Amino acid sequence: MALFYHVGRYSLLMYKTFSVPQRWKLYFKQTWKEIEKLGADSLPITLLISVFIGAIMTMQTQMNTENPLLPRYTTGLVTRDTLLLEFCSSILSLILAGKVGSNIASEIGTMRITEQIDALDIMGVNSANYLILPKITGFVVFIPVLVVFSMFSGLVGGYGVSLFTDLITPANYIYGIQYWFIPWYVYYSLIKSVVFAFIISSVASYYGYYAYGGALDVGKASTNAVVNSSILILLFNLVLTKLLLT
């Protein structure tokens, strides 16, 4: 029952959100701000995590496949495909759900409980459209950039392992990450990430927008936002993989 209630209210909010902005100039200004705040500011953490995961994945794969019968491209290929297929879209999105989702939910939630949203409504501003649309479009537009950077830095992390340890030679690693490269995997990852970005920003906005009460409730709203958008990401990951890869 509660599920239907939330889905219904979420749909109505999205309907209100996706209308023509009252002032285009203001909309672009807000969107630019969100790209900076939600997107560009997530770049450092994306790079950091990706480099480390790329490095660790290379080490683990290499250590677990020390069978001379396995071809020399194994480690590079496994690392590359895991990064492209899962890490740089799904896992990265789960991490960003924590960062961006809680940011959005607490910002909008605070505006709700301090009556700033009412103040917008009373002026005749479509508050959902004004506050939420720039966040959704900003984040959805920028997430492919994050994913591409994540892919590169992940592979660079693995290369670092080949340079600084003697687990694997750089030549084998480079050979591996180029072996049987399927470009579709990159697109698949990008498509997934765009869907996930929409889930994160819209679900977080939903929980913030309907926060009611005090500071404690804003905290709850942002926890709910992170938990539920993570669950939805996992669910949609399954659905999209079925649709796009099989």
Partner 1 sequence: MIELYGIQKSFDGRMVIKDIDAVFETGRTNLIIGQSGSGKTVLLKCVVGLLEPDAGDILYDGRSLTSMNKRERVQLRTEMGMLFQGSALFDSMTIEENVQFPLSLFSSLSPLEQEKRAHYCLDRVGLSDSHKLFPAEISGGMQKRAAIARAIALNPKYLFCDEPNSGLDPLTSITIDELISDITKEFNMTTVINTHDMNSVLTMGENILFIYQGEKTWEGGHEALYHSDNERLNEFVFASTLMKRT
Residues in touch with partner 1 (CB under 8 A): 22-23, 26, 114-116, 118-119, 121-125
CB 95 within 8 A of CB 196: no
Shortest CB 3 distance to partner 1, Å? 18
Cα-based torsion angle of the residue sequence 107, 34, 125, 217 in order, rounded to the nearest 10 degrees: -10
* Tokens describing residue 90: 């799904």
Nearer to partner 1, 26 or 238 (CB): 26
CB of 42 to partner 1, least distance (A): 19
Q: Which CB atom, from 55 or from 113, has the smaller least distance to partner 1? A: 113
Alpha-carbon distance 85 to 231, whole Å? Answer: 19
Q: How far is the CB of 115 from partner 1 (least distance, A)?
A: 4
Identity of the amino acid at 72: R
Nearer to partner 1, 110 or 241 (CB): 110
What is the torsion angle, in degrees rounded to the nearest 10, for the CA atoms of residue 6, residue 192, residue 34 and residue 148?
160
Distances from the Cα of 80 to the Cαs of 46, 72, 85, 113, in angstroms? 17, 14, 8, 46
Q: Please identify, using beta-carbon distances, which residue of 48 and 119 lies nearer to partner 1.
A: 119
Instruction: Provide the minimum distance between the beta carbon of 51 and partner 1 in the complex, in angstroms, as a whole number.
Output: 33
Whichever of 111 and 226 has its CB closer to partner 1, that residue is 111
How far is it, in rounded angstroms, from Cα 152 to Cα 58? 14
Backbone torsion region of residue 133, taken as left when φ is above 0, otherwise alpha when ψ lies between -120 and 50, otherwise beta: alpha
In the bound state with partner 1, the residue whose beta carbon lies nearer, of 13 and 125, is: 125
Tell me how far apart the alpha carbons of residues 61 and 49 are, in angstroms, rounded to a whole number: 18
Distance in Å, CB of 63 to partner 1, minimum = 50
Taking the C-alpha atoms of residue 130 and residue 136, their distance in angstroms, rounded to an integer, is 11
Q: How far is the CB of 101 from partner 1 (least distance, A)?
A: 19
